[in-house]
Structure formats: structure tokens, C-alpha cells
Amino acid sequence: MIYKFERPLIGDNMEGYSQKLYQCPICKLYYKNEEMAKKCRAWCSKHSSCNLAITKYSIERMKN
């Protein structure tokens, strides 16, 4: 399922996240912070590769 990150995703008991998450539509990573999701999308659409300085703030990276 694809979510547009402009439309906040409400974490539904997803490992305890009950807050809004924002997804980069290109690399599919989730962010708690809308600004980071926007930066990620801007980077991904330009460079078609991920910027570690941005993706380290994603939910996926923070879990590790």
C-alpha cells in the first residue's frame, strides 16, 4: 500500500507508534518529522539515491 506522505499516516499500534508518520514516496522510509520526509523526498527525486544524513532519521533506521 502506498501512502502519500503529505497525508499523515496514523500509526495504528505499529510497534507502539501512535503518532503521525510521514513517508517518503520514493524510498518508502517513514519519518516522525514532516520536514525530514520532505527533505528526503526532495533528495530522492533529485538524486535517485538515499542520503544517509537524512535516512538516519527515519523510523526504520532508528529501530536499529
Binding of Zn ion by 44 (CB under 5 A) = yes
Instruction: Order across the sheet with 9-10: list the strands.
Output: 9-10, 20-23, 30-31
State which amino acid sits at residue 40: C
Binding of Zn ion by 40 (CB under 5 A) = yes
Residues 21, 27, 30, 58: which binds Zn ion (CB under 5 A)? 27
Residues 5, 22, 23, 24: which binds Zn ion (CB under 5 A)? 24
Binding of Zn ion by 36 (CB under 5 A) = no
On the 0-12 / 13-18 / 19+ scale of CB atoms within 10 A, 51 is: middle
Q: From the CB of 7, what's the least distance to Zn ion, in Å? A: 16
